[in-house]
Chains A and B, each alone.
Chain A
């Protein structure tokens, strides 16, 4: 199975919890005409990590790096969620049974419907398991 086409490049940005950091990121990406497709912020006491799927991850990376941001690429996968209760549970169970850890996840709803972005420790295995279970994985080409 060609798993590569399901691996999506998320950009992850370290951010101090101070006013204006998020706006600075959004402004910088806007300037480069980069679209933010999905987005989440994980906050801890004193700092946060911004995670985003954008249409031009390399361009976004270089732009933010040049502004001094601490930024990295992270491989994630995107699962299409059935619009019915228990959809999240099913995915979590498939991965859990296979011994694959979900580091974090966040959802967004686009024109494809509800989509769950997953950061797992074993990306290839997760793709295979989810495909085998019959769930729908979104291809990277949907995003970039």
Chain B
């Protein structure tokens, strides 16, 4: 198996941790001395850089939240001046102000390096044509993947999002071997290709998908791999961490977070306490090498688990499992936590219905009502009402089993639910309207 940087990627864990400690220590000193924001935060928390005497002392440091970025809009907590900044990215705020992330040249280099390791680990390199169908622009997906792909010497096909038929033509004509996009956009591409009479499996050279920027499931991976004849890999990152930054390796068992770049913790979102390896909680990351906008114990809001054992691929860096939901996407239905990804996972296992869905939450009196709208597949349609009722009951039953809460199911006509060419918005919560 090929490595981009075997010395780092296979470095023994103790050495990695020693490296992390050194980087953390100097980061904390630097921020305490030069960043008013971090200085005040650490004072509030009554912690001084001298209190950080070992790696696990990271727990003493204060958390950082998305609201800290919003409150300090646009660049109040940047620790680099305009002379050193080489790029901005801006993430659109669905609530309130957007957040701005700045990058120095070193920040961009680290970002590309991180991706270069990941892309190499899934077998990509020179000779590959990587179609980047993430949006280019303020969103980090397009440009981030673009530079990562160039770094490994692959040829970039920067199609961005949209004009799907043209994307499929170019994929064929230029022999794209890999595509980077959201899983829902790849499904859309697959559907459009079928309508055009293009069989992705047979008529293109596509064999790798690098999919992320929205939650997806193992079931969706299986379906994509089988349907399109590709290997689909999860990629992870948020603009606050730079952008899409960490990918799975060929093992497809979660994405490697490079320890020399980031220190990863999984914490209990309610208490803020650190959890053990394998326990489900909120991903919290300290970026150890970032100049323009450092992040210490940044609470990303994604729910996942972390594995610390050495990966079968030989890499010693921890793996984060597929994101299972968002702390803020979490719906509370009759007191029970429900993640849209759980609904998706349950639906994937039912061949009679499609993969697109919509959750509508309403309140009747004091009770929450959850309705899941899902498309009845063409092959499963019967002229007998009873057969369709049975399918609906099956879906309701499966949802109840996996969510531990009752959901009504509405079967709708195929193709009638909205498809999204970007981040999916699958929940309509009418309780707050």
Contact = CB atoms under 8 A, between A and B. Distances in A.
Are A and B bound to each other?
yes
Interface of A: 10, 12, 14-16, 42, 44, 46-47, 49, 51, 68-72, 74, 103-104, 119
11 contacts: A14-B381, A14-B413, A16-B411, A16-B412, A46-B410, A47-B411, A68-B413, A70-B376, A70-B381, A71-B381, A104-B384
A70 B413 contact: yes
A14 to B, nearest CB: 5
A9 to B, nearest CB: 12
Interface string B388-418: 1100100000000000000000111111100
A70 B388 contact: no
Interface of B: 376, 378, 381-385, 388-389, 392, 410-416
A15 B181 CA distance: 33
Given A44-B388, A47-B388, A70-B376, A12 B411 contact: no
A72 B378 CA distance: 8
Given A68-B415, A68-B416, A70-B381, A49 B376 contact: no
Contacts of B382: 12, 72
Contact of B376 (A14, A51, A74, A119): A14
A71 B415 CA distance: 13
A112 to B, nearest CB: 23
Given A14-B376, A68-B416, A46 B411 contact: yes
Given A44-B389, A46-B410, A70-B376, A51 B383 contact: yes
Contacts of A51: 383
B414 A68 contact: yes
Nearest to B380: A70
A49 B376 CA distance: 13
A68 B354 CA distance: 14
Contacts of B376: 14, 70
Given A14-B376, A70-B378, A49 B412 contact: no
A121 to B, nearest CB: 10
A12 B376 CA distance: 14
B385 A49 contact: yes
Contacts of B415: 68
Contacts of B413: 14-16, 68-70
Given A51-B383, A68-B416, 13 more contacts: A10-B383, A12-B383, A15-B413, A16-B410, A16-B413, A44-B389, A46-B411, A47-B411, A49-B383, A70-B413, A71-B381, A72-B381, A104-B385
B160 to A, nearest CB: 28
Q: Which of B376, B381, B414 has the most CB of A within 10 A?
A: B381
Contacts of A72: 381-383
Contacts of A15: 413
Contacts of B383: 10, 12, 49, 51, 72, 74, 119
A133 B171 CA distance: 64
A84 B385 CA distance: 30
Pick the 3 closest A-B CB pairs, nearest first.
A12-B383, A74-B383, A70-B381
A22 B131 CA distance: 43
Contacts of B378: 70
